[in-house]
Amino acid sequence: MLRGVMPDAAGTRPVDAAPPATRMQRLEGRVILGVKAGADGVTRLDRLYQSGSARLRLPKGPDLEGVLINTGGGLTGGDVLETEVIVAAGARATVTTQAAEKIYRASAGEARVLNRLEVAGRLDWLPQETILFDGARLCRRLEVEMAAGATLLAAEATVFGRTARGERVAHGLFRDEWRIRVGGRLVYADTVRLSGDIDAQLARAAVAGGACAVASCLYVAPDAEGLVEAVRDLLRADGVKAGASAWNGLLALRLVARDGQALLRALAPVIEFLRGMPVPRVWRC
């Protein structure tokens, strides 16, 4: 049997050749937020850039609170979200998210989230929890450059599986990297990596003891070390295991819980204590 050919835009292609691979459309988004303090000491918007599926809103209120929105409704393999926040000296800002970020099953590649923070004043980086579905693959990185004397409160909560449905993450990837520098010097480096059967790994006593919700919280400030005992007193909650340590001008916490609700109930009082005000408004909606 003779092999036929048919014309295409590039020339000719055998009729029995495999069709070219179709690249699926992927989500990309980027936000840049800059704030500064006016002569009256009030923090004001200095710069705002947004592209793709990433948006930022600034609700009216007594404090500058930025709310990140992913109009794509979630992330999967190949998606990329980038956020950059610059807080000038004397300014104070809170950045959170409109809702929990959902990481869906990935057919190929990983969802990538890169957050870069530059802090000379005070920044409370408080996104709502991230929920990983079974088969999800997420690589997340937090990079922070701080000036000496600046203040950062950062918290990231992650829930593995939709706990209300009894879902577990039997396969997937979760890589979470934190790098914090003060005055150009690295003061905190932390990497969490879970791959394969994540549920089985979380069941290990040395990992999470069967918990499926985890959170990391870091407070970097001149008064950080002196608050460790007060924070430990706040961490006593049912269904949650937690610990806090302080050194070199920072206070680090890790929490694990049986579900996302228990985790947030334990984390919220700590955040309110460290920031001296309630959690962001969208947390209470």
pLDDT score recorded for residue 24: 61
pTM: predicted TM-score of the whole model, two decimal places: 0.89
Rg, the chain, Cα only: 22
- Rounded distance between C-alpha atoms, residue 262 and residue 154, angstroms: 19
Residue 30 CB neighbours (<10 A): 16
- Rounded distance between C-alpha atoms, residue 53 and residue 46, angstroms: 22
Asked if residue 100 lies in contact with residue 69, where contact means CB atoms within 8 angstroms, the answer is no
Those residues whose C-beta lies under 8 Å from the C-beta of residue 98, and which sit 6 or more positions away, are 57, 67, 68, 69, 70, 128, 282
Amino acid symbol at 243: G
- Rounded distance between C-alpha atoms, residue 54 and residue 51, angstroms: 6
pLDDT in tens, the chain (285 residues): 444 444 455 555 555 555 554 556 678 999 999 999 999 999 999 999 999 999 999 998 888 999 999 999 899 999 999 999 999 999 999 999 999 999 999 988 999 999 999 999 999 999 999 999 999 999 999 999 999 999 999 999 999 998 767 788 999 999 999 999 999 999 999 999 999 999 999 999 989 888 899 999 999 999 999 999 999 999 987 778 999 999 999 999 999 998 899 999 999 999 999 999 999 999 987
pLDDT score recorded for residue 2: 40
- Rounded distance between C-alpha atoms, residue 213 and residue 234, angstroms: 18
For residue 11, report the phi and psi dihedrals to the nearest 5 degrees: 145, -110
Those residues whose C-beta lies under 8 Å from the C-beta of residue 168, and which sit 6 or more positions away, are 134, 160, 161, 199, 212
- In the three-class reduction of DSSP (H, G, I as helix; E, B as strand; rest coil), residue 7 is classed as strand
Q: What ranges do the domains of the chain cover?
A: 28-276
Residue with tokens 């990140």: 68
pLDDT score recorded for residue 26: 77
Using alpha carbons, select from 148, 80, 141, 91 the residue that is nearest to residue 116: 141
